[in-house]
Structure 1
Amino acid sequence: MFPTIGDLISYLFHIPVKINLQTFGTFMALAFAGAYVVFVAEFKRKEADGTIRGMMVKETVGLPPSPLELLLNVTLGFLLGYKGIDVLLALFRGADPAPGFLSLQGNLIAGGVFALVWGIWVYKDKLPESKEVERYKHPYQLMPFIVFMAACWGFTGAKLFDAVEHIQELRYVPLQVLLARSGFTYYGGLIFGGLTCLYIGYKNKIRLIDMADIGSPGMMLAYGIGRIGCQLSGDGDWGIVNRYVKPGWIPQWAWASTYPHNAIDAGVYIPGCTLQHCHQLPMGVYPTPLYESVLCILLFSFMWMIRKRLRTQGAMFCLFLILNGVERFFIEQLRITPKYFLQLSQAQMIALLLIAGGLAGFVWLTMIPYFSGAGRNPAKISRL
């Protein structure tokens, strides 16, 4: 496994490289980048066909920053300097930046300099006289804000759902559970991040059903990319022991992996190892992150190919709910997760709700023509 990007580059190109950038975090960033591209493409397509529209917004430019804006910028600058310099230095030295990032230690001089720079920066657009301007705002221009807010709330939701899943550990070592670098529940991130996207769309006069359709392919792709990071780093999201005989055409790592050099140091010590992560599992387990990454990227490809054929609003979102729910429900059969009601894991219970919601949505969409009168008057069908 490759806990850091340096480990991955060293393996691929057979050269020693010290880049202590976490593989899991890097692929999470790539997942958001992939979702960003897909979201923007769907925003533009939906705007072009008239499904959604931009809006004229009025802005006052040239005003001096308010005390709150000044405080927020100075605080942001201080944090970037106080923590950022030490994190960069740790990366260049090949050391792990996480312990320093999660501690109270930092660089006061760099923090002060960055705070001053950020405080001055907010004055750069101040004019001698403020004026009100009006501009057209395209829906896709919301994406930087959507990505930032969805990332913040998504990580929060993923961590909270994981804490609930490990409620016993949370009771005794809450800080260790909440601040651990591993331990993120996908559905927590999906629910919190998805609700954030819907809220931002609603505030900008985009109908919720249109926002849900726009986001569905991107969310599927982001999940597939994120799972690649889980597989490459060995972050603990693997499955149960695979006791079946391997078919000859399947590579061992795709059938039953021991996750050598995994990022969480799970398993037994690898004799003679001198690296930072020197553990592997005693028995081969199902590499479920690999399976999910392949499945979800294939499902995204399917959704992307048929997106222009699904002309009914809400159909893409209902399809996403069903496909994602079915995929996760069955993959959970191979994963090591706590079981609750009816021997179902937290993810399986949520997956069943998603499947039910998607099926109910499709039933509702087929009934709309009838309830609108088209079912009783065939002449109305062409106008629906």
Structure 2
Amino acid sequence: MYPNLYYAFKDLFGLNIPLLKLLQTFGFFVAIAFLVAAYVLTIELKRREQLGLLTGIKGKAIIAKPFNMTEVLVHALLGFVLGYKLLGLATEWDETVQDVQAYVFSIQGSLLGGVVLGAILGYFKYREAKKNHAPEIKEEIVTIMPHQRVPDIIVMAAVAGLLGAKIFHNLENWGDFVKDPIGALFSFSGLTFYGGLIVASYVIIRYAIKKNINVWQLIDSAAPSLMLAYGVGRMGCHFSGDGDWGIYNSAYVTDAAGKIVPADPAKFQEMVKASEQFFVRQYGSLEHIPHAAFTKPAGLSFLPDWLFAYGYPHNVINEGVQMAGCAGKYCSVLPVSVYPTALYEIITCLILFAVLFALRKKVTVPGMLFGIYLIMNGVERFFIEKIRVNTKYDIFGFHPTQAEIISSLMVIGGAVLIWYCRKIHKAAKPAI
């Protein structure tokens, strides 16, 4: 696993670039997910605009304004801070120091890097300000098309999605939140996708209504990009080893070097006993370990074992037991391999994205494509929950997870949405 890009570049390319320790693998893939979603959403909005399904509205655009030295100084200050820290990490990094965040918030850095980058950013902002300056603010009326609002939509989705993901995660793990509310709110881990989706959807729909964007066309345009973003985001979970994995596959265990080894029930029990302290800390007793044995079918012998079970060596959350011959911050591996559910979701969601992308021109009833997305995403997540470890609720004798509840509601909501959209579309057709 690659907790951050430093480990990825070192393992894949043999490059030792300490600066990359700042870039967490999970955050990197989340950023990529937003970028690819923005790209797909933009091209789909443009297509619908060309068909006349979406129109723009008039708005004011600033084409010139008075010179503002404060903006120049702010950019110069930002450049100084970035250069001070980035060049410092690149040239003065001490390999014995493992906590990058502590370095960032310390007084360590490169004065030369700060002065150089601060001067560069300040100079470019100065040139831009002088080029477009005027005695007073000048505005002109322009037509703003929906695809031009994608940057605003993505920023709102990122902020609202992060907030929603945090809220829903802490609701799902209320006991941990109560113990350390500040740490739970401001930690870099602990995000629930559906929480982010719900809050972000609410914020963006309100924004669309305010900007007179056809909501039905917008959500249909967003359906393929949402599925793609989810699949790419799951890459961050898998490649960083953030704990978003499945239950244990007791047909396999993991040796001290992180290699997957087939195991019979006796071997599984032996490994559990050998790592008793870890399992008791996680589940309270050895009797409550969630596991299910599934051996690679003989007809699929060409597939790698890690597709069925994985130990997540060097995972970012340091979950598991100490790896032999490893020293440093990320030296843990799961003693018993788990189902790599994030990998399953990556494959499934990329396939579903291709299906939705192919359907976008064939499904012409407004809102219906988004209903199909809701059903697809809900079904996918509902079944993957069967082999994932999550907090379960006790509801009238049933014990669903939060994701199972929401995914079930998504399937129902998607079916109702398709029925409603077909009904109003049929009613809107003129009688012959």
The TM-score normalised by the length of structure 1 is 0.86
How far off its partner does 1:297 sit?
Answer: 0.7
CA contact (8 A) 1:82 1:107 kept: no
Which runs of no fewer than 5 residues in structure 1 stay unpaired? 375-379
Structure 1 residues 51-74: Cα deviation after superposition (integer angstroms, max 9, x where no partner) = 1012222335444489xx969x97
Which residue does the alignment assign to 2:239?
232
Aligned partner (choices 394, 407, 411) of residue 351 of structure 1: 407
Distance in structure 1 (CA, Å) of the matches to 2:212 and 2:135: 34
Which residue does the alignment assign to 1:269?
322
How far off its partner does 1:202 sit?
Answer: 2.0
Q: In the alignment, is residue 199 of structure 1 matched against residue 206 of structure 2?
A: yes
Further displaced range: 118-127 or 343-352 = 118-127
How far off its partner does 1:91 sit?
Answer: 6.0
Which residue does the alignment assign to 1:377?
none
Structure 1 residues 139-177: Cα deviation after superposition (integer angstroms, max 9, x where no partner) = 211112222221122112111211111111111211221
CA contact (8 A) 1:369 1:381 kept: no
Aligned partner (choices 363, 366, 371) of residue 313 of structure 1: 366
Which runs of no fewer than 5 residues in structure 2 stay unpaired? 251-292
The verdict on how the C-alpha distance between 1:302 and 1:28 changes in structure 2, with shifts beyond 3 A counting, is same
Q: In the alignment, is residue 360 of structure 1 matched against residue 413 of structure 2?
A: no
CA contact (8 A) 1:61 1:126 kept: no
Letter in 2 for 1:181: F
How far off its partner does 1:381 sit?
Answer: 5.0
CA contact (8 A) 1:325 1:352 kept: yes
1:116-195 to 2 correspondences below 5 Å: 117=122, 124=130, 125-195=132-202
3-state SS in 1 of match to 2:385: helix
Letter in 1 for 2:6: G
Letter in 2 for 1:48: Q
Aligned partner (choices 293, 296, 299) of residue 246 of structure 1: 296
Structure 1 residues 94-150: Cα deviation after superposition (integer angstroms, max 9, x where no partner) = 76533455x586879859x68x94996895443024433122222211112222221
Distance in structure 1 (CA, Å) of the matches to 2:381 and 2:108: 41
Which residue does the alignment assign to 1:97?
100
The TM-score normalised by the length of structure 2 is 0.77
Further displaced range: 78-87 or 260-269 = 78-87
Further displaced range: 128-137 or 294-303 = 128-137
Letter in 2 for 1:344: P
Residue identity (%): 35
How far off its partner does 1:316 sit?
Answer: 0.8
How far off its partner does 1:304 sit?
Answer: 0.4
How far off its partner does 1:183 sit?
Answer: 1.0
Count, aligned residues: 371
Q: In the alignment, is residue 285 of structure 1 matched against residue 362 of structure 2?
A: no
Distance in structure 2 (CA, Å) of the matches to 1:337 and 1:16: 37
The verdict on how the C-alpha distance between 1:60 and 1:15 changes in structure 2, with shifts beyond 3 A counting, is closer
Letter in 2 for 1:268: V
Distance in structure 2 (CA, Å) of the matches to 1:155 and 1:140: 23
3-state SS in 2 of match to 1:256: coil
The verdict on how the C-alpha distance between 1:137 and 1:369 changes in structure 2, with shifts beyond 3 A counting, is closer
State which structure, 1 or 2, has the greater radius of gyration over its C-alpha atoms: 2
Distance in structure 2 (CA, Å) of the matches to 1:152 and 1:104: 27
Distance in structure 2 (CA, Å) of the matches to 1:105 and 1:351: 47
Distance in structure 2 (CA, Å) of the matches to 1:120 and 1:360: 55
Structure 1 residues 188-226: Cα deviation after superposition (integer angstroms, max 9, x where no partner) = 221222223323322221122111111111111000001
Which residue does the alignment assign to 1:255?
308
CA contact (8 A) 2:375 2:415 kept: yes
Q: CA RMSD of the aligned region, Å?
A: 3.0
CA contact (8 A) 1:197 1:211 kept: no
The verdict on how the C-alpha distance between 1:262 and 1:303 changes in structure 2, with shifts beyond 3 A counting, is same
Distance in structure 2 (CA, Å) of the matches to 1:89 and 1:149: 33
